[in-house]
Amino acid sequence: MNDERFYVEGGDRSLKVSVVTPNDHVYDMVQQMTQASRRMDSSQIILINGARKGAKLQIAEAVRAEVVAFFAWEPMATKLAVTYPQIQVYAIQPSVLDLLRCIYFAPKEGKLGAIIPFALRDYYDDLEDALQVMDVSFYRLAPAYDERELRDLIRRAASQGVTDLIGTDDISAMTVARHMNWIPLRPGRGGVARAFFKALWNIQHRYQGNIRAAFPQHGMLAHYHLKDIVGSSQAITEVKELAKVYGPTDSTILLMGESGTGKEMLAQAIHNLSRRRHGPFIAVNCGSITESLLESELFGYAGGTFTGANRDGKMGLFEAANGGTLFLDEVGDMPYVLQNRLLRVLQEKYVRPVGSQHGVPIDVRVIAATNKNLPHEVQEGNFRLDLYYRLVVKNQTIQVKDVLRVMPRDVVAEERGKLDEEGHLRGRTYEMIEKMSREGKSGAQIAKALGISRSTVYRIKRRHEDQ
């Protein structure tokens, strides 16, 4: 599978992830999928069957083993996000093809209905028309629903004569109580593999360069300063000068540049130049988690908003970053429906948790980053024009074109001098890459030694080969 190579070829073998499956069948499927991969290190994958006894204990052990992410089906994904807010959670969602498969194999006798998860919201209108033709009752799920709303939907379906109901795992017990046949709506093998390996690549990329998120209980801190960025090329010099100008302000900043150029490291340096340097620095990747989870992560939620929600609610990242900086990585991948909420927060300086009627005033500086051409995304209708202008207020945009690299902490002064001499970072870095390649070091080992991503290593090599 093409997505697999992004993560597994020379990846960071210290990273661990955990997959929590809903039943034995899916457990066996994921196990076979990971074992069949020639390049994946199975020791990095902690596989847990969520339906078996002792699953909670295994999950707690995975947390102690310092997993960087959980993969799970709903509603388990939501429960994990609530219980372990310091760990990235990826919800594996069913597709339209999975829904059609359920309809095809459903009993032909009786009346068929389907509760469509919010993950398929983009297809709601088309699905409703198509299901009507197939004589399948259609029921929409709101982005943040609670158990009562779900029970009401199932009660309505029963009153309309539905005998067989398609839906995710959280409706199983409720359908049985109504004497209805539950048809599980779960991701198929292809969807699981695509979501799994794509998210693994995101994790690998995020943790490259030793930029790891701090645990909330210890406070989210920005560890890097402008002095940590080495090199004296024109591009790097321009970036550092702009950072010095924009850093002391409170205005929103947009960092634009290719993946692997060090945008998060630069954001930390800008934060440490501001009056907020003693406040929290919190980073979130807007493109790596589902819309519903991203919404609750950013804005928080009120107690009892949805099944599995904390009774007392949860503070969102905007509120947690109060007095500091919130770094919105890959903002160009933020779901369109959430862009309006982000715009409102930036304009009004308050945030309203999901399910709450009351807003919370906040004092947060936003630094956003993207590897996309946002003006083009605006033209294509994928990104809001008003949000784009809000992010580039006073034209505070930094084009990160060169390779920004933090000096490894264990590099001795002698080596630091070698990197800086002649003021040419990229050329000197290429020499070091070639030297370590001749020594038989892998791309991952070179990237780790230099503090850059593996993709950056190969990009520098290609640039010199093309010259």
Query: What is the per-residue DSSP string for 401-420?
Result: -S---BPPTT--HHHHHHHH
Residue the block writes with tokens 């839906």: 167
User: Cα–chain-centroid distance for residue 167?
Assistant: 25
Domain locations in the chain?
Answer: 2-93+189-202, 96-184, 212-400, 413-466
pLDDT at 218: 38
Residue in 92, 81, 93 with CA at minimum distance from that of residue 117: 93
**Residue 128 in tokens:** 């409703």
Global pTM value: 0.46
Angle, CA of 242, 424 and 432, to the nearest 5°: 125
Any idea which fold 96-184 has? Rossmann fold (3.40.50)
Q: How far apart are CA 353 and CA 160, in angstroms?
A: 34
Neighbours of 409 (CB within 10 A): 9
- Block means of pLDDT (10 residues each) for the chain, 467 residues, are 35 69 82 64 80 90 84 78 76 83 90 84 79 89 72 92 90 89 84 68 50 38 80 79 86 83 86 87 80 80 61 78 89 88 87 79 90 86 87 69 48 37 46 76 71 67 64
Specify which residues 211 forms β-bridges with. none
Architecture of the domain delimited by 2-93+189-202 = 3-Layer(aba) Sandwich (3.40)
State the amino acid at position 11 in one-letter form: G
Residue the block writes with tokens 């083009």: 376
Q: Which CATH number fits domain 413-466: 2.30.30, 1.10.10, 1.10.760, 3.30.70?
A: 1.10.10
State the amino acid at position 190 in one-letter form: G
CA end-to-end span of the chain: 32
Contact 91, 73 (CB under 8 A): yes
pLDDT at 161: 94
Same fold, 212-400 and 413-466: no
Phi and psi at residue 416, to the nearest 5°:
-60, -40
Q: How far apart are CA 422 and CA 404, in angstroms?
A: 17
Any idea which fold 212-400 has? Rossmann fold (3.40.50)
